[in-house]
Amino acid sequence: MANSSAITAAVRLSEKLPFPLKRLADLAYNYWWCWTSDRIALFQTIDPQEWERCGHNPVAILESSSYERLTQLAEDPFYLKQISALTREFDTYMAQKDTWVSRVAPQVSQDRPIAYFCAEFGIHESLPVYSGGLGILAGDHLKSSSDLGVPLVGVGLLYRQGYFRQRLNRHGWQEDYYLDNPFQRMPLELIKDEQGQPLTIQLEIRQRQVKVQIWRVQVGRVSLYLLDSDRQDNDPIDRWLTGHLYGGNLETRIAQEVVLGIGGVRALTALGIQPSVYHLNEGHAAFCTLEIARQAIERTGKSFYDIEAEVRNSCVFTTHTPVPAGHDVFSPDLIDSYFAHYWPQLRLSREQFLALGARRLGDPWEPFGMTVLALRMCRACNGVSELHGQVSRKMWTVLFPRRSEADVPIGYITNGVHAPTWTAPLLADLYNQYLGADWKTRAVDPQMWAKVDEIPDEELWSRHLILKDRLIAYTRYKVKKAREQRGEDYKLIQATDSLLDSNVLTIGFARRFSPYKRGDLILRDAQRALKIFGNAQRPVQIIFAGKAHPADEEGKRIIQRLMEWCQNSGILNRVAFIEDYDIYTGQKLVQGVDVWLNNPRRPLEASGTSGQKVCFNGGINCSVLDGWWCEGYQADANGKGINGWAIGEDAHTSDQELQDRIDSQSLYQLLEEEIVPLYYDQDANGIPHRWVQMMKTSIKTNAPLFNTDRMIADYVSQVYVPEIATRVGPILAKVLL
Ligand SMILES: *Cc1c(COP(=O)(O)O)cnc(C)c1O
């Protein structure tokens, strides 16, 4: 076992801290702190500027602070009280035995955890090894698993330079660049063996032996293991295998997926971890099923087909992509060069091996699909919303020729978000008062959420305004910095001081700029849009953020069109673009906007989660009926939304041009006739009571459903431990309490 080194990094750090602050090291090395209500001041207080500079990295800020500054804090009774309360809470949390899982599924023990594989994890902005929704979902999966006591370990890759960083040039064109992650100064621990050397596993990749080391990140009670090939004893090319997230070509992609899938299983073996379930979050990790088989064959001497059922029995799969082109496929040539040495170890021929990933058998040119492999080798498969489940069944009927579409064995578990992470501390404080101090552990309880009605409109609205102000100040700061860096005109830089206005109806739109998300749909009729945004009495403003994948020219053009639109004199102070979207910017946005806009081409948004984050903060969704919003949106008898708005119809056409026209017109109409009038219907004190009513309805109806506690309870009872499904029943809320 290599786990004895678990706390050495924290111990090393604590030795540098003055006595009353020593426990800060434990907090710094466990991301639990980032979902407490005390998170804002905890580390920032040490040195706000340095906190900003180091990307909100708690280890770096403690490492870089002077002893003089730290002893200053050590004599501040307020700070000491805060730390002591927080460490007490932390110790209680970590030691808690009576968890939800211990009650409903005691058979899942720490000795046989669930291993959750994913290519990216978005836990906090200080660990930039994520690109977007998939990673955030994985991060929230770990956090709720920790909260509910699910014995789970995460397995992923540690990318030396993470995902690309975005800046826009003076022509509004996205420029991509990469920054090195300083792992030694991050809340990570390199796993060592008994000799004190880094624990490594070996892989054969492109006829070379590659050594991979393993880092641990602590996320509450859950450990996340990240694999890293950047070692001196590797070939220089192989050191970059884990260089970038979604960076390279198909070659890098398959190599990374070998490291994640096969390397991930070997790493768990080296760590002495024997999972009871392997959860493949998206097809990237599907090679892990082969390695589980290979180890069983080596152990038992049986054939692949003899142990296949056993492998299937321990593997489950979540698919995230509603379009065929979104699934990783590799040509037989590529498979040859990465697996020619491997299929003999599975006692398979080349043809038998290729058949595992082939949609249709018998065609020698049929590519090897990761989703196909996962669907073949996993006992349970699910999409991430009801609609996505349906779309996935249709897409994969080809693999189940003897079944009707409805019987294709792909179910769904709708995504959620981790409520404590995404709820603004200022609103969490309000929930503490009106819903009860234990609201975070009762996120699935609709009766508890119904109590938001007891919050006086004035109070909810005034906190919302503070958060909106915060978002506007942050947006100005970011836009000003970007304009300075671009070397823009002095006047334009000065003008950021009057960018946006907290009295104005504020829309947020932040997500990847993939063409299907239609980031510029709102510009389709530029004149009509100008009238809405530039209206003198009842203006509207919008804040954009998001990256286009470096290879996505069309996505970059969409961003450029938005940047050009920003310069229109009628709406100069009404449109802003925040560069380099990340978790921090995401939090500021979802916590501060009035309306969250989402207008993907239906049904291409498998679930979407940013709109769910908005619900916990009193923002209201205006979205195409796609992904999770199909399940969240509620209308009254007249077809008017009561907890948000639906763009377009509950149907779609394959004529994109027509669909864009229908949806954009519907969006304009909603803004003109419903959203703007409702927002500006304010009493003498400036309180829009009908609007606040809708905020409350949005919280009440969405919060109990679209959180990761509900999602994890679903995974445990339907997928991880199906034996308990009947006992848990459909009303998970009851069991969670
Ligand atoms: C929530 C989140 C996403 C995912 O948003 P979608 O609505 O699924 O597009 C992407 N990036 C960041 C930084 C997020 O916080």
What pLDDT score does 728 carry?
53
Please say whether the dihedral angle defined by the alpha carbons of residues 77, 79, 81 and 84, taken in this order, is positive or negative: negative
Tokens 């470096």 belong to which residue?
550
The least confident of 151-155, 164-168, 458-462, 600-604 is 600-604
542 C-alpha vs ligand 1 centroid, how far in Å? 17
Question: Which amino acids bring their CB within 6 angstroms of ligand 1?
Answer: 132-133, 136, 511, 581-583, 586, 608-610, 613
What pLDDT score does 107 carry?
86
Q: SS3 for 58?
A: helix
What secondary structure does DSSP assign to 398-466, as a single string? GG-TTS-GGGSS-EE----B-HHHHS-HHHHHHHHHHT-TTGGGGTT-HHHHHGGGGS-HHHHHHHHHH
Tokens 């641990």 belong to which residue?
216
Burial class (CB in 10 A: 0-12, 13-18, 19+), 207: exposed
533 C-alpha vs ligand 1 centroid, how far in Å? 25
pLDDT in tens, 584-628: 999 999 999 999 999 999 999 999 999 999 999 999 999 999 999
- Flag whether pLDDT at 141 surpasses 90: yes
What pLDDT score does 545 carry?
98
What pLDDT score does 737 carry?
43
Dihedral angle over CA of 305, 288, 136, 168, nearest 10: -120
In a mutational test of the pocket of ligand 1, which residue from 422, 596, 609, 626 has the highest number of ligand atoms less than 8 Å from its CB? Answer: 609
Q: Of all protein residues, whose CA lies closest to atom 12 belonging to ligand 1?
A: 132
pLDDT-based confidence at 653, cuts 50/70/90?
confident
Stronger pLDDT, 200 or 570, i.e. the higher one: 200
645 C-alpha vs ligand 1 centroid, how far in Å? 20
674 C-alpha vs ligand 1 centroid, how far in Å? 26
Nearest to 712 by CA among 261, 98, 105: 105
Structure tokens that stand for 402 in this block: 């003897």
How far CA 354 is from CA of 257, 299, 373, in Å, comes to 16, 24, 10
pLDDT in tens, 111-136: 999 999 999 999 999 999 999 999 99
Percent with pLDDT over 90 in the chain = 91
Q: SS3 for 153?
A: strand
Q: Cα 193 from chain centroid?
A: 32
How far CA 62 is from CA of 128, 179, 537, 689, in Å, comes to 19, 21, 50, 46
Considering the chain, what is the average pLDDT of its residues? 94
Q: Of all protein residues, whose CA lies closest to atom 1 belonging to ligand 1?
A: 610
pLDDT-based confidence at 213, cuts 50/70/90?
very high
What pLDDT score does 7 carry?
59
Q: Of all protein residues, whose CA lies closest to atom 3 belonging to ligand 1?
A: 133
Burial class (CB in 10 A: 0-12, 13-18, 19+), 185: middle
Helical packing angle, 370-377 and 288-300, nearest 10° = 50
609 C-alpha vs ligand 1 centroid, how far in Å? 6
pLDDT-based confidence at 727, cuts 50/70/90?
low
Task: Please check whether residue 578 is in contact with residue 545, taking contact to mean a CB–CB distance below 8 angstroms.
Answer: yes
N residues, the chain: 737
